[in-house]
Amino acid sequence: MLNFTFQNPTKSHFGEDQIKMIATEIPANAKVLLVYGGGSIKQNGVYDQVVNALSEHTWFEFSGIEPNPKYDTLMKAQQLIKQHDVDYLLAVGGGSVVDGCKFIAAAALFNGDDPWDILAKQTPITAALPMGAVLTLPATGSESNGNSVVTRDGHKLPFSSPIVRPQFAVLDPKVTLSLSDRQISNGVIDAFVHTIEQYLTYSVNAKVQDRFAEGLLQTLIEEGPKALAAQSNEDLEVRANIMWSATMALNGLIGAGVPQDWSTHMIGHELTGGFGIDHARTRSIVLPAVMKVKRQEKREKLVQYAERVWQITDEDETVKIDKAIAKTEAFFKQMDVPTRLSDVNISEKDIDDLVSMLEQHGMVALGEHSDITLAVSKQILEKAL
Ligand code: NZQ
Ligand code: ZN
């Protein structure tokens, strides 16, 4: 196992009707900015629950954060913050709203010249407004980590800091019942790929992390299709299992002390930035190709994945790996997400542009061995055609 320091100070309130907990989590004298997206929270009752819970607080609101949150939109919140002396942010929504809120929090107290530097130059932040989150879409783990991804002019750039990790997160599986099938699928696939990216590298004999990861993968494989199929009360248990899996997939726990390979995500960001493909739908396209192109380097872990996650018992390791990759793709198809670039109308002629975007963003040495050069990323994209 590799050395690590693990701390996750986000307090999670999990379960039905837990939104009321924000009343006690946010300091009574705080001036709160409620931050949300395109309005789904007004249709599914979440907004009303939040407003009820904030009845004793002074609060303002900022809405309109779009999926893949835009820098220009987020910067508009700064004026409100200054005008009302806001000192606490509450994100209510999916990963885009929570990520967007983190950037708003960091930009509000940024002491450099231009908050864009937080993303473009990776200028470290030294302060941010405190924030909490009410999660409405289980997928990114953003409610319990310090990561944020912001888009400007087709450039999708991440930043990360423990300073923007939400102080608390409310996870009520009931609020996910209003998600469309597309968003359910996206969430399950995003969490699945996050888990794989912290697992499918090389063995460092980290048994706990491996078995946690395998448990999350198996849970998502079991529950994901049920969430698409069922519309009954039982669904709530399915949703609860998916919701906690997504949080655990990217709250730092399974990634502590193990090598990681975020190449699928970094290549996928260019597909979202350049072509507007949903975040998770880029991952379901790129991951199988990464598995195929890097199968030699990932051999040991691919065999473990085949045996423990998919219970593949063939003697021959090559067969085992082939079957595991095929089962992964079949699962993605069952979840109704694309597995090829051609499924989203991207062809060979687009690959050079994608590779030059990777270069522009410094993504020239990806993977657990930093050996996914631009040439290898090109191979991966070609394999995904
Ligand atoms: O904007 P509203 O009206 O809220 O609608 C949203 C949005 O249209 C809707 N939605 C959310 N909860 C709902 C709902 N509709 C009905 N009922 C509900 N309960 O779903 C749509 C998509 O929401 P979005 O927040 O964009 O989805 P997701 O949670 O998948 O977030 C994607 C973003 O997270 C970033 C991605 O890059 C992308 O920008 N990521 C953040 C990460 C992190 N912070 O660690 C890691 C991820 O890998 C990812 O990069
Ligand atoms: Zn993701």
- Model confidence pLDDT, tens digit, residues 58-114: 999 999 999 999 999 999 999 999 999 999 999 999 999 999 999 999 999 999 999
pLDDT at residue 235 in the model = 87
Q: If you measure from the C-alpha of residue 189 to the centroid of ligand 1, how many angstroms do you get, rounded to a whole number?
A: 13
155 C-alpha to center of ligand 2: Å? 16
Residue nearest to atom 18 of ligand 1 (CA): 179
What lies within 8 Å, CB to CB, of 114 at 6+ separation is: none
pLDDT of the residue at 154: 83
Between the CA of 213 and the centroid of ligand 1 the distance, in Å, is 22
pLDDT mean across residues, the chain: 97
206 in the same domain as 79: no
- Number of structural domains the chain divides into: 2
For 214, phi then psi, to 5°, come to -65, -35
At 266-313, the pLDDT tens digits run 999 999 999 999 999 999 999 999 999 999 999 999 999 999 999 999
Asked if residue 6 belongs to a domain, the reply is no
Distance of CA 187 to the CA centre of its chain: 8
| Residues 188, 165 within the same domain | no
Q: Do residues 238 and 362 both lie within one domain?
A: yes
Q: Is the domain of 66 the same as that of 106? A: yes
Q: Which residues pair with 90 in a beta bridge?
A: 34, 132
Q: Is 205 exposed, middle or buried (0-12, 13-18, 19+ CB in 10 A)?
A: exposed
Cβ pair 32, 285 in contact under 8 A: no
- CB 125 within 8 Å of CB 118: yes
User: Of the bound ligands, which one is closest to the alpha carbon of residue 138?
Assistant: 1
Domain limit, last residue, from 120, 146, 174: 174
The predicted structure's pLDDT at residue 8: 96
CATH of the domain at 226: 1.20.1090.10
Final residue before a domain boundary, out of 174, 196, 212: 174
Is the predicted pLDDT of residue 234 greater than 80, yes or no?
A: no
Residues 225 and 207 in one domain: yes
**CA gap 362, 119 in Å, rounded:** 13
| Residue 4, domain member (yes or no) | no
Answer yes or no: are the C-beta atoms of 148 and 99 closer than 8 Å: yes
Helices (H), 144-234: 181-197, 207-229
Do 104 and 213 have their domain in common? Answer: no
Q: Looking at the structure, do residues 198 and 218 belong to the same domain, yes or no?
A: yes
How far the first Cα of the chain sits from its last, in Å, is 36
Is residue 35 within 8 A of residue 65, CB to CB? The reply is yes
233 pLDDT more than 70: no
Contact 168, 12 (CB under 8 A): yes
Q: Does 187 lie in the same domain as 253?
A: yes
Domain, as residue range, for 45:
11-174
Residues 211 and 128 in one domain: no
Do 48 and 186 share a domain, yes or no? no
Residues 58, 200: one domain? no
Residue 84 and residue 112: Cα distance in Å, rounded? Answer: 22
Please say if the pLDDT value at position 230 is more than 70: no
Q: Is the CB of 44 under 6 A from ligand 1?
A: yes
pLDDT bucket at 136, cuts 50 / 70 / 90: very high
pLDDT (tens digit per residue) in 240-252: 999 999 999 999 9
pLDDT of residue 261 exceeding 80: yes
Residue 146 inside a domain? The answer is yes
Compute the distance between CA of residue 264 and CA of residue 376 in angstroms, rounded to an integer.
Answer: 12
**pLDDT above 70 for 232:** no
Residues 216 and 245 grouped into a single domain: yes
In this predicted model, what pLDDT tens digit does every residue of 303-339 receive, in sequence order?
999 999 999 999 999 999 999 999 999 999 999 999 9
Residue 231 has pLDDT above 80, yes or no: no
Helix (H) or strand (E) holding 90: strand 88-93
* 250 close to ligand 1 (CB < 6 Angstrom): yes
* Position 159 in a domain: yes
What is 91-109 written as a DSSP string?
A: EEESHHHHHHHHHHHHHHT
Task: Say how many Å lie between the CA of residue 108 and the centre of ligand 1.
Answer: 22
Query: What confidence score (pLDDT) does residue 91 get?
Result: 98
Indicate the residue among 130, 149, 174 that finishes a domain.
174
Determine the number of helices (DSSP H) and then strands (DSSP E) in the chain.
Answer: 16, 8
Task: Pick the ligand that lies closest to the CA of residue 98.
Answer: 1
Q: In 10 A of CB 275, how many CB atoms?
A: 16
> Does the Cβ of 144 fall within 6 Å of ligand 1?
no
Residue 89 in 3-state DSSP?
strand
User: Which domain CATH number covers 43?
Assistant: 3.40.50.1970
The torsion angles phi and psi of 89, rounded to 5 degrees, stand at -115, 140
